[in-house]
Structure 1
Amino acid sequence: MTARAAPVLLDSLDAAIEAMLSRIDGPLHVGAPLGLGKPHRLLNALYARVERDPSRRLHLYTALSLDPPGGGKGLEARFIRPFVQRHFGDDFPRLTYVQALKRNALPAHMEVEEFYMQSGALLHSTQAQRRYASLNYTHVARALGDRGVNAIVQKVARSADGTRLSLSCNTDLTFDAIDALVARGLPRPLLVAEVDPELPWLGGSASVEAAFFDIVVAPPAPYPKLFGLPRQPVSDADYAIGFHASTLVLDGGTLQIGIGALADALCHALVLRHTDNAAYRRVLHALRAAKVDDPALGPFVEGLYGCSEMINEGFRRLVEVGVIRRKVVDDEALMRRVDSGHASDDDLARLEREGEFLHGAFYLGSPEFYQWLRNLPEDQCRGIGMKRVSEVNELYGSNESLERMQRRRARFFNTCMMATALGAAVSDALENGHVVSGVGGQYNFVAMAHALPDARSVLMLRASREAGGRNTSNLLWSYGYTTIPRHLRDVYISEYGIADVRGRSDEDCIIAMAGIADARFQATLIETAKANGKLRGDFALPAHCADNLPGHLASAMSAFRADGTLPDYPLGSDFTVVEQRLVMALSWLKANTASRTAKLKTVMRAIGTGTSTDHEAMARMGLERTSGLGQWLQARLLSLALSRTAS
């Protein structure tokens, strides 16, 4: 193989852009990683340069363009603005193209195409909605090849001696995209790296020689903070879902999880199962879980192997307590001996020495999570392998027989917004076509669960939601959009239990799904099924299903909330103690002002409420002293909310 020339080393973003423009003729077809690996400052410099020159068209192909929360209005603004300033920093480089998309103001000679959006962030952007590409994660590299991408820009970490660079947070698509382009007979794209000293160094397959890139730019300090996802509180419903889900995880197996409060709840349940099994079983008993006395739900002896497109906060905690520790190596013969119980002492020594216990294609989390990665002991750091998404999200195209052995007893946990009684899932978009997020890797993992003999796909969802002052079921008879088709139905979990619907008849599937629905909506679901000839006329749900109500759940969980078994923030919080109280109060206020009638009632109660005794919370919101009627009413509303949510 011919050695590549040394990269052009620059310390100016503008110089890097000029170098790009000088080496690419015609339109710029630029690929950028999703999430953390997107070089915000470099992309903003590129945007500014091309915006001034309509003759240079720019097509950007990317996903998950992270943008800190906006300012909001009223009480929301009083809470968010100081938090954003502290958490993200005054100098965080918001992506210019995202701000333009939100205003539908992207210039005519620029185009942004995303295959996954920050959840709900671009629902009202017609430019973003029109140019959304619905793709499985593993098909993105192929699509980039089809589009003829001629440049890829990426944020990287640099070794101390400067000879190597780490793709660190995003090994997901870069290698696969290059291969896809070269396989089509197209030139290797121009590779441009932006060095970020804040980015944790990860070696192994994430590490490349500096010459892998054509241009390396290292802008001078100060360096903005990495984008930290604010950790959200976990509700009673979230915890119930997480604990039910944890009963499906088998010791010695494989774990994939998504992100968000449901994933946090599942990880906390697994931690408790391992570190305080008695308390874990008490929670299961309160939830009337079917497997509460199962000996297989003891602490993990062999541990789990993590294989997830995204490494996040939950995996950090599972590694710390010793749940994630089952190692694998990319040696088919050795893994076969381990799997059959015939591994020699030398095999086991090599497995311990060279094995990896966690594979991912990208990572994203809180500042605490990034600090954990930076400070990992060398032996633990070697256990984390960053891979191509084609290696993590599917079995085909690499070494299928090896991956089947590595991924034994796999449990793939993902979330959905809604599900139908016949087993279809709605995860990423609405029936009017508006995209909330994207398919991402969900379909990949559902399909892989059906391809592996002892794996299961588990889709988790809250049984109901409240919007505009109305409660609505998330378990529906039908919906005008589907992410996962009914023929791939497997396991669904709501706060009210588990519906195992793999291979079931339609009637049995409907019965199981109705059994985990909110009791307020069960009758309508069942009557609709009967009217459509899918359920026998004399069917009735068991009596205990009538308890599928938020009030019953809150009663079951209250003791565990009080004694700290189920904390509001099981994986840590980015909010101060005072802000945590405010989050609860503002959430209560939002729920109790969702409709015009509810808002009027809440305002009338607030008018009669005195000033809150929580002086710290009032001061944090700048309402310890008020000026004018508007501030006075805000203070009264906040006082009411704080009193209603005080523990």
Structure 2
Amino acid sequence: MASTSRDRDTEAAVEAILRRTGGHPRVAAPLGLGKPHALLNALYRAVQGREDRSLTIFTALSLTRPAPGKGLAGRFAAPFLARHFGEAYVDLDYALAQARDALPANVHVHEFYMQSGALLGSGAAQRDYISQNYTHVARDLVGRDIDVLVQLVALRDGRISLSSNPDLTFDFLDHLARSGKPKPFCVAVAHPDMPYVSGHAEAEEGLFDLLVVPDVSPPLFALPRSPIEPAEFALGMHASALVVDGGTLQIGIGALSDALVRALILRHEQNGSWREGLDALDVTGGTRRWMDGWGGSAAFATGLYGASEMVMDGFMHLQRAGILRRRAYDDLERERRAAAGEDVGTEGGHYLRGAFLLGSRELYAWMHRSEVDDPDAIDMCRVSNVNHLYGDHQPLAALQRRGARFFNTCMMATLAGAAVSDGLEDGRVVSGVGGQFNFVAMAHELPGGRSILLLRSTRGKGRRAASNIRFNYGHTTIPRHLRDVYVTEYGVADLRGLSDEACVEAMLSVADARFVDALAEEAKGAGKLRRDFVVPEAWRAHTPEGLAAALEPMRRRGLLDPFPFGSDFTEVERRLLPALGWLRDAGKGALLRALLAPGRPVDGEIEALDRMGLARPGSIAERLERRLVRAALRRQGRLAPDRTPRQA
């Protein structure tokens, strides 16, 4: 087996790549965290503006720092982003150009999953997007003449770990070998902060042709922690009642997943409060019906096993709370004994299996610590193992994933049960299919498995509010014949095996009351709902006001902290967030009233204005902004003097 050469010079690696490829590299790079930014940027610069060179990249989720925006949003975000990412952070040059729709003609970037919503205005990105299930990517890359593979890795005692991204690399190289095609030039770039993960994430000796160990490495991308809004918290409460003790959990990323994790921890640690909160939210009793039928309400005695394509912060919090602890074993007989309740020990067993890693710096440190303290606990492996059920591992995987609850999010859903998760009906791609279809299909194959799609019932505020539950939509990600379970902030709709009319009624029962009559009329007009159907009176309480009233007892007890897992914002910034949110959503009339009658001063007002750079406004526009922010702060102070609840 060939040995791996070693270098510290990124530019030398670029020259080696260009020599190997005749100046026209076709590069495969991991999704998300596993991209070597400095190397890819140097390669992009070496090709940019050269008629005798070209660059084609096959990848996904090219992460860039969020743009701060303009106006008040920019005043708030710019200092925060500078502090969070630091001066040394390096964005991907091609991704920045792609977002501006300004990629040079000799550069093409094919992604199968995009940073959500970031490339809607990029014609090049939309044209070069490849729609694929996550598990098909490695297979399909074989036909794309890839001649270079680059990857960010972790080093330990001369060993290489693919760390955050063993998801596609091994499968891709195996597919190439079976097809008889030559192995690409494989370049690893070591990063000191990448957590070393052993086991299935480790590379065999000689897999990489070149290992670059730079003297200086830019910081890893770390996701800022987002607040959980009350409606999202309510959604998480409903969803948490569907998880069975001793089962399997898959979750994605974002506020809805954070809300689910928060509710699961509340169920485990403060079960009485969790039950009272669910009773208040579940006005019709629908959620408790499914909870008693196939969910759960008790604290977790056996614990959960995580099998998720993405390892994110939520799993860390669940493990620390003692919920993520059921071990799975890669031996069928031992797993059978464990499933039968025998004590088979912990050695060799893992409580979390994932394919890629992305989250906060705290998560990366936790992964590193887990490897040191309990190297068997977390298994990072091929996505074909995590997302795919069929093949030699099927009997074992099905047993390991008993009681599976696969939680994913979507943007919209239809009354007939189809999900809209990745694109718009005009054809533009918002993100990508990723592994969602894999998990939905797998849930239908696993005994006792359920696919649970989470969505907010509405988007927008006030007169701009619109329903995310539609009668129909011109694009779908999950077809209606795979419909299973939907959860909104108003409850649970279990659609499995139902007729179209029963599906329509179930989806109406978790819709926002402001839109339910119009949706019912559409369904009646299409013959999908009987003409004499009358919306039950209990559904009329499904409004933001009704939700706020149901959550009020929990809010008073300090259980609705928008940052239950810590915040990247300062206390002053946390005070500003709801005020700026109100300014963003308020109508012209409300803004005018706020300007004319700003109200009485509140504590922290001066510090908040200073944080926004408005302590000493120098122009008419800045004075107007100062007055708006001051009025919003005072309004928030009047409405909720304890806006930042105590930590539970």
- TM normalised by structure 2 equals 0.94
Deviation of 1:230 (Å):
0.9
* Match of residue 553 from structure 2: 559
CA contact (8 A) 1:612 1:639 kept: no
Find out whether 1:505 has 2:499 as its counterpart.
yes
CA contact (8 A) 1:612 1:640 kept: no
Deviation of 1:378 (Å):
3.0
Report SS of the residue matched to 2:272.
helix
1:471-620 paired onto structure 2 within 5 Å: 471-592=465-586, 598-599=587-588, 601-609=590-598, 613=603, 614-620=605-611
Find out whether 1:106 has 2:103 as its counterpart.
yes
User: Residue 22 and residue 461 in structure 1: after superposition, are their counterparts in 2 closer, same or farther (change >3 A)?
Assistant: same
Counterpart Cα distance in 2 of 1:296 and 1:47: 52
Find out whether 1:318 has 2:318 as its counterpart.
yes
Deviation of 1:54 (Å):
2.5
* Match of residue 179 from structure 1: 174
The code of the aligned residue for 2:440 comes to V
* Match of residue 306 from structure 2: 306
Deviation of 1:377 (Å):
6.5
* Match of residue 639 from structure 1: 630
Structure 1: which 5+ residue stretches go unaligned?
A: 593-597
How many pairs align? 630
Find out whether 1:622 has 2:609 as its counterpart.
no
Moved more, 22-31 or 512-521: 22-31
The code of the aligned residue for 2:555 comes to R
Counterpart Cα distance in 1 of 2:462 and 2:121: 18
1:160-171 paired onto structure 2 within 5 Å: 161=157, 163-171=158-166
Counterpart Cα distance in 1 of 2:202 and 2:457: 44
Counterpart Cα distance in 2 of 1:12 and 1:599: 57
* Match of residue 640 from structure 2: none
1:59 to 56, 78, 82: 56
* Match of residue 198 from structure 1: 193
User: Residue 562 and residue 367 in structure 1: after superposition, are their counterparts in 2 closer, same or farther (change >3 A)?
Assistant: farther
Deviation of 1:76 (Å):
1.4
The code of the aligned residue for 1:623 comes to L
* Match of residue 646 from structure 2: none
CA contact (8 A) 2:154 2:191 kept: yes
Moved more, 174-183 or 416-425: 174-183
Report SS of the residue matched to 1:297.
coil
* Match of residue 595 from structure 1: none
1:208-287 paired onto structure 2 within 5 Å: 208-209=203-204, 211-221=206-216, 223-287=217-281
Report SS of the residue matched to 1:145.
helix
Find out whether 1:376 has 2:370 as its counterpart.
yes
User: Residue 468 and residue 48 in structure 1: after superposition, are their counterparts in 2 closer, same or farther (change >3 A)?
Assistant: farther
CA contact (8 A) 1:148 1:181 kept: no
CA contact (8 A) 2:594 2:632 kept: no
CA contact (8 A) 2:415 2:504 kept: yes
CA contact (8 A) 2:243 2:296 kept: no
Deviation of 1:600 (Å):
5.4
The code of the aligned residue for 1:182 comes to A
Counterpart Cα distance in 2 of 1:195 and 1:296: 44
Counterpart Cα distance in 2 of 1:80 and 1:164: 40
Q: Deviations for 1:28-49, whole angstroms, at most 9, x for unmatched residues? A: 1101111111111110001011
Find out whether 1:6 has 2:6 as its counterpart.
no
Counterpart Cα distance in 2 of 1:372 and 1:70: 28
CA contact (8 A) 2:326 2:351 kept: yes
CA contact (8 A) 2:112 2:130 kept: yes
Counterpart Cα distance in 1 of 2:596 and 2:181: 69
CA contact (8 A) 2:335 2:396 kept: yes
1:463 to 457, 476, 484: 457
Deviation of 1:469 (Å):
4.4
Find out whether 1:132 has 2:129 as its counterpart.
yes
Report SS of the residue matched to 1:353.
coil
Q: Deviations for 1:140-193, whole angstroms, at most 9, x for unmatched residues? A: 11121121211111111111x3x1011111111111111122222211111111
Report SS of the residue matched to 1:212.
coil
Deviation of 1:566 (Å):
2.0
Deviation of 1:25 (Å):
3.5
Moved more, 604-613 or 637-646: 604-613
Moved more, 393-402 or 123-132: 393-402
Deviation of 1:468 (Å):
9.0
Report SS of the residue matched to 1:255.
strand
2:86 to 83, 89, 104: 89
Counterpart Cα distance in 1 of 2:319 and 2:28: 33
Deviation of 1:529 (Å):
1.1
Structure 2: which 5+ residue stretches go unaligned?
A: 638-642, 644-648
The code of the aligned residue for 1:216 comes to L
Counterpart Cα distance in 1 of 2:374 and 2:632: 45
Deviation of 1:628 (Å):
1.2
Counterpart Cα distance in 2 of 1:275 and 1:30: 48
Deviation of 1:224 (Å):
2.3
CA contact (8 A) 1:35 1:364 kept: yes
What is the aligned-residue RMSD (CA, Å)? 1.7
Counterpart Cα distance in 2 of 1:215 and 1:607: 66
Q: Deviations for 1:294-330, whole angstroms, at most 9, x for unmatched residues? A: 5941111110100000010110000101101010111
Counterpart Cα distance in 2 of 1:377 and 1:147: 36
Counterpart Cα distance in 2 of 1:449 and 1:5: 42
CA contact (8 A) 1:465 1:473 kept: yes
* Match of residue 398 from structure 2: 404
The code of the aligned residue for 1:178 comes to L
Deviation of 1:629 (Å):
0.4
Deviation of 1:236 (Å):
1.3
Q: Deviations for 1:41-87, whole angstroms, at most 9, x for unmatched residues? A: 11000101111433222110011010111131121111111111111
Deviation of 1:381 (Å):
4.0
Q: Deviations for 1:497-516, whole angstroms, at most 9, x for unmatched residues? A: 10000110001000100111
1:151-162 paired onto structure 2 within 5 Å: 151-159=148-156, 161=157
Report SS of the residue matched to 2:149.
strand
Deviation of 1:571 (Å):
2.0
* Match of residue 74 from structure 1: 71
CA contact (8 A) 2:10 2:212 kept: yes
Q: Deviations for 1:486-542, whole angstroms, at most 9, x for unmatched residues? A: 000000111111000011000100010011110111111111111111111111132
Q: Deviations for 1:204-252, whole angstroms, at most 9, x for unmatched residues? A: 111224522111111112x322111111111111011111111110001
Report SS of the residue matched to 1:48.
helix
The code of the aligned residue for 1:299 comes to A
The code of the aligned residue for 1:41 comes to A
CA contact (8 A) 1:607 1:636 kept: no
CA contact (8 A) 2:185 2:209 kept: yes
1:355-374 paired onto structure 2 within 5 Å: 355-374=349-368
CA contact (8 A) 1:265 1:570 kept: no
Counterpart Cα distance in 2 of 1:116 and 1:612: 45
Q: Deviations for 1:410-438, whole angstroms, at most 9, x for unmatched residues? A: 00000111100000000111000111111
